[in-house]
Amino acid sequence: MARLILLLFITLPITEIAIFIEAGELIGFWATLLVVVFTAIIGTAMLRQQGMSVLRSAEAALQRNELPMEEVATGICLLVAGALLLTPGFLTDLVGFALLISPFRHFLGMLVFRHYVNSGRTSIWMGGAKRAGHSSSNDPSGDAGSAPVIDGEYHEVNNSSPDKNKSTHSIQDARR
């Protein structure tokens, strides 16, 4: 990943300069400059509109007690798109505008998700909870995902009995 970033920092400016030179020769310096400024203005307006839409969608997901994961991923793509659109250059504008297109963002998200799942650095749990260090007697792997969860509360009980072998803690079911 570090090599990819280093490669981008070296090749992207060189490529942008070459494209600027070609565009300047083709349409002139002032027209090239106007196109770059115009794309930044249009991109910023589109980014503002889509950003507000994502914010409303994230708020709706939170109101439904859901984690707004898709909205967060979309927000990250829009943040990168904004940075690319504000960076002068035709190539950065092209990638920035591509990130503003929803199907492209979904495709990119699918590729990133697949990459991390296939790399083996990601674990996915599809429900249930596992307590660290807990294993059931019939499951040698320690996965107690099918065990029932009992919701309860406890409070300390002070026994006046001098018997020190008795437990001083009691667990009471919260449903009582």
Task: Give the DSSP letter of residue 122.
Answer: -
The count of structural domains within the chain is 1
Evaluate whether residue 172 is within a structural domain: no
Evaluate whether residue 156 is within a structural domain: no
- Domain extent, residue 93, equals 9-119
Q: Which pLDDT does position 110 carry in this prediction?
A: 86
Evaluate whether residue 163 is within a structural domain: no
Q: Are 68 and 106 in contact (CB under 8 A)?
A: no
Q: Are 172 and 152 in contact (CB under 8 A)?
A: yes
Q: Which pLDDT does position 123 carry in this prediction?
A: 64
**For 127, how many CA atoms within 13 A lie in the half-sphere containing its CB?**
4
Give me the numbers of helices (H) and strands (E) for the chain, helices first please.
5, 2
Evaluate whether residue 80 is within a structural domain: yes
* CA 48 to chain centroid: 19
Evaluate whether residue 37 is within a structural domain: yes
Evaluate whether residue 131 is within a structural domain: no
Evaluate whether residue 144 is within a structural domain: no
Evaluate whether residue 149 is within a structural domain: no
Mean pLDDT by 10 residues, the chain (176 residues): 88 92 93 91 87 89 88 88 88 92 89 81 60 46 63 77 52 51
